[in-house]
Amino acid sequence: MTGRFTFSDNQKFKSILDMVRAPDRPVHTVDLDLSKLEFVDSAALGMLLLLKDECATRNISLTLLNPRGQVEKMFELSRFQTIFNIVD
Amino acid sequence: MPLPANRPPGLLRLLKGCGKTRATFFYIFRDTANLEYAITVPCRWLIELDASHQNPHPTSSAETRGTHIFALSITSRSAYQLPVAYILARRFNRLGWLGPDQVSGFESCLHEALINAVVHGNLEIAGGFNGNDAFAAFYDSIQSKLHTPEYGERRIYIILSHVRKRLYLRVSQSGVGHPENRQPDALDQQHGRGLSIIRHLTQGMQWHHHGRTLEMCFAKMPENPLVLRDPAP
């Protein structure tokens, strides 16, 4: 993921959800590289929680990689380290 | 009467008698295509015309505290679709009003306040989403209402003022007010996190006008506590 991930990116996020759900191409792990993501808002955090629930339902491992700057700060405020597997 | 097709992106108007010590310039523009340019205009007051070519005064719905240094009046559609918070946070930094380490926090707070004002206030869409089905329905509802003039052209006002060592940022809407005594939701919920983020990133937040105005308080740039450069031309 790169740039900004905000409220208005719900369609792009839906495409990630669709990939996770695709029955013809089963997914076992999802690693999101966030090192080039510059900004997230509260809606984006909500979408990540939605993805986590979707992955948990399908027994898929989800990892958030290398959050930086404002993204890391928002994860801290939202206590995401207690909810997600976050790897630096 | 329709505006001429070859008009400039905006009109700089001098309204006599609006300023106490100096003339006040209003920059009036139309539609979202010109907003990104308009926000860069060195003017204290920026007003977007709506489809009926009305240009409501940016402070008509909300008195502010201290000295006004910036005001923007835009439609809900523009506030939702354009990176207003991104542009303004960097503009205020360039003007010396925000320190470099304050920019991302200020941007986050303004962004959250704008989305909250547009979606829950002017578009009158309650709550958020829990689960995938509700997720799709929630965003469909936003798109639908944004393109309905009754909702999409409701005003959003952004007003920045300062008192001594503090900056006050007010975001006002003209729809449904937020319950003033409601506590911010938990940060680990799928929705309702925006106000909690604002509470953590500001020196204080307060509701006014029956929940239609959210006021957020920030420290003025610490290295330059007393001087505010004036953006007026």
DSSP letters for A42-84: HHHHHHHHHHHHHHHHTT-EEEEE---HHHHHHHHHTTGGGTS
Which tokens go with A86?
Answer: 């976050």
Question: Which residues does residue A79 pair with via DSSP β-bridges, in sequence order?
Answer: none
Report the residue of A21, A40, A41, A42 to disrupt the B interface, i.e. the one with the largest count of B CBs within 10 Å: A42
Best mutation target among B102, B103, B110, B193 (most A Cβ atoms within 10 Å) is B193
B188 to chain A nearest CA, in Å?
6
Q: Measured between beta carbons, which residues in chain A are less than 8 angstroms from residue B200?
A: 77
Q: A31-42 burial, b if ≥16 CB within 10 A, otherwise e?
A: ebebeebbbbbb
**B135 contacts A50? CB cut-off 8 A:** yes
Look at residues B143, B159, B127, B130 and name the one whose alpha carbon lies nearest to residue B57.
Answer: B159
Half-sphere exposure of A18 (CA within 13 A, CB side): 7
B73: tokens are 């009046």
The model's confidence at residue B48, banded by pLDDT at 50, 70 and 90, is confident
Distance from CA of A75 to the nearest CA of B (A): 10
pLDDT digits over B58-81, tens only?
A: 554 456 677 778 888 888 988 998
Chain A contact probe: residue of B103, B106, B107, B115 with most A CBs at under 10 A: B115
Contact between chains at A46 and B139 (C-beta distance less than 8 A): no
* A47 inside 8 A of chain B by CB: yes
How far is C-alpha B148 from the chain's CA centre? 20
Q: Between chains, do B104 and A69 touch, taking CB under 8 Å as contact?
A: yes
Question: What angle do helix axes A42-57 and B103-116 make, rounded to 10 degrees?
Answer: 80
Chain A CB contacts of B186 below 8 Å = none
Most confident option among A30-44, B13-27, B119-133, B190-204 = A30-44
CA of A55 to nearest chain B CA: how many angstroms apart? 12
Cβ–Cβ < 8 Å for A20, A27: yes
Summarised one tens digit per residue, pLDDT across range B115-159 is 999 999 999 998 666 666 677 788 889 999 999 989 998 999 999
In the numeric block, the tokens 């926000």 are attached to B39
Burial class (CB in 10 A: 0-12, 13-18, 19+), B156: buried
Measured CB to CB, residues of chain B less than 8 Å from chain A are 80-81, 83, 86, 104-105, 107-108, 111-112, 115, 128-129, 131-132, 135-136, 139, 187-191, 193-194, 196-197, 200-201
**pLDDT tens series, chain A, 88 aa:** 889 999 888 888 888 888 888 877 788 899 999 999 999 999 999 999 999 999 999 999 999 999 999 999 999 999 999 999 999 8
Q: Which residue of A has its CA nearest to B137?
A: A10
Across B88-105, average pLDDT: 90
pLDDT one-digit tens code per residue, A16-36? 888 888 877 788 899 999 999
Q: How many CB atoms lie within 10 A of CB A54?
A: 18
Question: Would you call B141 helix, strand, or coil by DSSP?
Answer: helix
User: For the whole prediction, is pTM greater than 0.95?
Assistant: no
